[in-house]
Amino acid sequence: MKGPGLFSDIGKKAKRTISATLIISEILPSTKAIASIKLPDYNSGKLVVQYLHHHASLASVMALKKSPVVELSGTVGAQGLAFGAEAGFDAASGAVTKYGAGVRLTKPEYDASVIM
C-alpha cells in the first residue's frame, strides 16, 4: 500500500517468517515514523521516529514489547562543527543501558573528533 507520505510492505522472508513494515512520512515537517515486526516473533517489533533537518537530527527507537528498551540519539552542527549524543534506557530495570557523546571539528586542513 502506498499513498502520500504512507508506505507499507508485508512480505515473506523465510519459510516461517512474515515481516510487516509501515512507514509514515511527514507526520510533522521533516519527520518519519517506521513501525516493523517479524512474525511469529512478536518481540521483534519496534517503532522508530526520526526528525531530519539540514543542521540537526533526532532519532528514537523503541522495542514494542512488555519491557521496552528506548534509545535516543541526536546531532546538531553547522560549518565544520558537530555535536552528537546517544542514550539507552531499559524500562524494566529503570536503568540507563548506554550513553555516549561526541564532537567533531572539520576544516580543509584537518578533521578531528572526540567520542566519549
Query: Please, what sign has the CA dihedral across residues 55, 28, 89, 47?
Result: negative
* pTM of this prediction exceeds 0.85: no
| pLDDT score for 10 | 73
CB within 8 Å of 83: residues ≥ 6 apart: 75, 76, 77, 101, 102, 103
Percent of the chain with pLDDT over 90: 53
Give the CA angle between residues 38, 44, 48 to the nearest 5°. 100
d(CA 100, CA 108): 27
**Rounded mean pLDDT of 94-113?**
94
| Per-residue pLDDT reduced to its tens digit, 17-69 | 888 888 989 888 899 999 998 888 878 889 999 999 999 999 999 998 888 89
For the chain, helix, strand, coil in percent to 5 are 5, 70, 25
**Rounded mean pLDDT of 73-80?**
94
**Rounded mean pLDDT of 71-88?**
95
d(CA 40, CA 50): 27
| pLDDT score for 52 | 93
CB 47 within 8 A of CB 41: no
Top pLDDT among 80 and 5 is at 80
